[in-house]
A and B are shown apart, each in its own frame.
Chain A
């Protein structure tokens, strides 16, 4: 099951580990992605903390973690090929979190709610 935050991150929870990515809508708004500053493994963050950074040809933006937890894995492919996000935003995870409060996942939007949400923007 995939859920979305107001800041356009998506999360897929598998046991206690969540994969985090950016929505296709957000990536489309940013344009061609040129750089992703990945968090360090071991970084801990609370829900909505800025823990990564993304640059495109026209903007630079924070990536907020949609769930609280500790970073256990980062997608190193993005260091050299950030354009993977333009190709497949919805299936390219950026980092994985060991979540500290799984119930936060339930507070995120499901796909239908997120779709309705971006139509209001």
Chain B
């Protein structure tokens, strides 16, 4: 069935009205050689066929396995109210509102979102969300360069930052006149000695992740101080749930915070949709990209929500805009707002503690198994790396037969990690599931 409402007659009338022969003339300004010759798009389907098609696809999902997968996306409980409220028709659109001020309810929700993110991260300013953790990191790096007024051209990235974020960062920055230095993985932690030797006045910012990709928690205060001594910025990325018990970005005096919001009420859906968190100290707010919701009084003196500080954005500042991002992940930020409201400050801390405690229990039990060593030398939050006496591939495959997604194979991301697996737990894993997992591991290694 066609999804466009215009009949051939309608189209012809419109063409005649604007003085063209047919609609292909609209594309005359695109040189012929640059035009697509064909589009590989199948014919339209009926509603019934579309449903069948998607049903078939969703049947391929394997929901029977118990997941111990982490590495950036985590299997958390999502309270039913998150779906119920975010699905209300007043809110339910993936699109960020244009003519934003006409959508006061949406702006109010985003204003609350910003307040919660500031409370969570200990930062003073944030925007209405980014696309994901990787793009938030890339935008944080570009912010650091802008704050250094373009004179500092070096971005140092810690070895413990999510390697997928690093790929996104490199893609984003590829055509900027900048140098991205990624530190080599030497252990589960940061190579502080090498790093301290690199910090000088050419550095715009240093990005680290705490807990890092291997799950390790570290103290970065010495590095942050060294950065500030040369007026370079500290960019902290993290898994937001960990902020429930670890020091926030504000508490460690980081300048910019970035992270992925999936764990705050988003489903695990082939890696998305998620949203990115980007927050900073107030003095850097004019360098923050994206939409920012502010509060004011209307002409009758009533409270009103507005998009504010828009002179940063491309519709005013053109080529000097802080970023070409002028949208956000509206619906996902709304879900996070509902999620955080439901948990509250104490609930959020309890959630973080449960994640930590369950992971500690699993780590303790696995460390007793012959043939398994814990790779991390630092304390960990809710995931850690195990070293096996068999290949990671064999381990993962055999565990899958026993009903588990046992973890993330690190050899895909790091050289020399053929027998190392990143294992994660969340509050969702019961003691029974964890004990079963350990029993099955014993049968394999």
* A binding-site residues for B, Cβ under 8 Å: 34-35, 37, 40, 53, 55-56, 59-60, 62
User: Binary interface profile of B, 309-341, with partner A (CB < 8 Å = 1, else 0)?
Assistant: 001000011001000000000000000000000
Q: Which residues of B contact A62 (CB under 8 A)?
A: 320
* B binding-site residues for A, Cβ under 8 Å: 149, 286, 311, 316-317, 320
A37, A53, A55 — most chain B CB neighbours (10 Å)? A55
Evaluate contact between B320 and A60: CB separation under 8 angstroms. yes
CA distance A35 to B311 in the complex (A): 9
CA distance A17 to B316 in the complex (A): 33
Q: List 15 A-B contacts (CB under 8 A).
A: A34-B311, A35-B286, A35-B311, A37-B286, A40-B149, A53-B320, A55-B311, A56-B311, A59-B311, A59-B316, A60-B311, A60-B316, A60-B317, A60-B320, A62-B320
- Least distance between A40 CB and chain B CB atoms (Å): 7
CA distance A40 to B311 in the complex (A): 21
B149, B311, B320 — most chain A CB neighbours (10 Å)? B311
Q: Which residues of B contact A53 (CB under 8 A)?
A: 320
CA distance A60 to B317 in the complex (A): 6
Q: Which residues of B contact A55 (CB under 8 A)?
A: 311
Q: Which residues of A contact B311 (CB under 8 A)?
A: 34-35, 55-56, 59-60
Q: Which residues of A contact B286 (CB under 8 A)?
A: 35, 37
- Least distance between A35 CB and chain B CB atoms (Å): 7
Residue of B nearest to A50 (CB): B320
Q: Which residues of B contact A34 (CB under 8 A)?
A: 311
CA distance A35 to B317 in the complex (A): 13
- Least distance between A34 CB and chain B CB atoms (Å): 7
A60-B311, A60-B317 given; 8 more Cβ-contact pairs under 8 Å:
A35-B286, A35-B311, A40-B149, A53-B320, A56-B311, A59-B316, A60-B316, A60-B320
CA distance A62 to B320 in the complex (A): 10
Q: Which residues of B contact A56 (CB under 8 A)?
A: 311
CA distance A60 to B320 in the complex (A): 9
- Least distance between B32 CB and chain A CB atoms (Å): 38
Q: Which residues of A contact B320 (CB under 8 A)?
A: 53, 60, 62
CA distance A34 to B149 in the complex (A): 20
- Least distance between B321 CB and chain A CB atoms (Å): 9
Q: Which residues of A contact B149 (CB under 8 A)?
A: 40
6 smallest A-B Cβ distances: which pairs? A55-B311, A60-B311, A60-B317, A60-B316, A59-B316, A35-B286
CA distance A25 to B311 in the complex (A): 21
Q: Which residues of A contact B317 (CB under 8 A)?
A: 60
Residue of A nearest to B311 (CB): A55
CA distance A55 to B149 in the complex (A): 17
- Least distance between B323 CB and chain A CB atoms (Å): 14
CA distance A75 to B405 in the complex (A): 61
- Least distance between A55 CB and chain B CB atoms (Å): 4
CA distance A14 to B18 in the complex (A): 61
Q: Which residues of B contact A40 (CB under 8 A)?
A: 149
- Least distance between B322 CB and chain A CB atoms (Å): 11
CA distance A62 to B149 in the complex (A): 14
Residue of A nearest to B313 (CB): A60
- Least distance between B324 CB and chain A CB atoms (Å): 15
- Least distance between B421 CB and chain A CB atoms (Å): 49
Residue of A nearest to B318 (CB): A60
- Least distance between A108 CB and chain B CB atoms (Å): 25
CA distance A59 to B149 in the complex (A): 21
CA distance A34 to B294 in the complex (A): 15
